[in-house]
Amino acid sequence: MSALDAAAVAAVDSTGQAAEILDVPAHLRDALWRVDSAGIAPVDAPGGVVVAGMGGSAVGGRLAQAALGPRLTRPFLVADGYALPSWIGPEHLVLCASYSGGTEETLAAYDDALQRGASRLVATTGGALAERARRDRAPVIPLPGGFQPRAAVGYGLVSALEAAALGGAGPSLRDEVEAAATLAESLAAEWGPDGAEDNEAKRLARALHGTVPVIAGAELTAPVAYRWKCQINENAGLPAFASVLPELDHNEVVGWPGADGLGPFSAVFLEEPGAHPRNALRSELSAVEAEAGARAVERVGARGETRLERLVSLVLLGDLVSLYMAVLAGTDPVDIAPIDRLKASLAAR
């Protein structure tokens, strides 16, 4: 059994991505302070709140939407592209999130929101996005520099939650953020590199090693499944895919018997006790169907009492699984050469 201890992680992790993953409790708490320090006034946005962002800067919006869930009182959605939905206007609040401040799609979305007369809020470390916000006197949540955008997930989640509260789309979840940070501290110790070699994160990484994972979630866990997919892509440099219940039971489930012989696939079902009973049953039954063609089938349960605690527990677990998969593959988790090449090619045209 390959070791997944601190020494093994350090051997491939040239920039300390493991430390950033384990520091998510501190990130959650610091994010609350940063929102407070910005002194942002509430905005009455009867049309709802939109989070405009891409990649690691958009994930906070997706996770916040799930954490708020049935407590949302106005529309709340993520716009991941160059333009906002056609119906966005003065009655909306748009949070433009770009860690670098230079994401071209988010800059275009900011300009689109300005043209439509929507209220704007920015979360960034600086760059052109911060310059636009200063020009227009739009409030800015100042994010700390030095991270990979995907490692700032705690900041993105809290920024989006606070945007929802500021725009009247949902209640403040500050107490839940504090509780989630406390839970994450204990889970980071349990699942981290200094934890037991058979802890859940290390066990899952070994089970998924050498396979193409297909991660499935439902309701609260659906955006977390997408986060797992993205983290495996970026940290481990491997293909992975995400699916959502109950939709996958109307198409994808038919493909599992045919997976045998095509390649080594694995199936992961993220579960939590607050799911609709029928989705909980679907997860159980779909896992059985996946056994027809998957090399490994895993059902993974969330930890915690609140929706936000359970969501954060699964995010942390997935981040660590992707880190350990990188170690097993001998991949430096900071290496995102294909994205860098794409950005350079786009900038040249």
The question of whether 92 is a catalytic residue gets the answer no
Q: Where are the alpha helices (H) located in the chain, listed in sequence order? A: 6-12, 17-22, 24-38, 59-68, 104-116, 127-136, 153-166, 174-191, 200-208, 222-236, 256-259, 277-290, 307-329, 337-347
Look at residues 338, 16, 218, 161 and name the one whose alpha carbon lies nearest to residue 346. Answer: 338
Q: Has 209 been annotated as catalytic? A: no
**Cα gap 148→240, rounded to integer Å:** 20
Q: Say how far apart CA 187 and CA 220 lie, in whole Å.
A: 19
Let me know if 250 is a catalytic residue.
yes
Largest Cα span, the chain: 58
The three-state DSSP-derived secondary structure of 144-213 is CCCCCHHHHHHHHHHHHHHHHHHCCCCCCCHHHHHHHHHHHHHHHHHHCCCCCCCCHHHHHHHHHCCCEE
Q: What is the spatial distance between Cα 290 and Cα 285, in angstroms, rounded to a whole number?
A: 9
Q: Are 91 and 119 in contact (CB under 8 A)?
A: no
User: What DSSP character marks residue 274?
Assistant: T
User: In angstroms, how far is the first alpha carbon of the chain from the final one?
Assistant: 48
Q: Quote the CA–CA distance of 8 and 211 in Å, as a whole number.
A: 21
Rounded to 5°, the CA angle 232-328-294 comes to 60
CB 115 within 8 A of CB 90: no
Catalytic residue among 176, 234, 272, 289: 234
Active site residues: 234, 250, 343
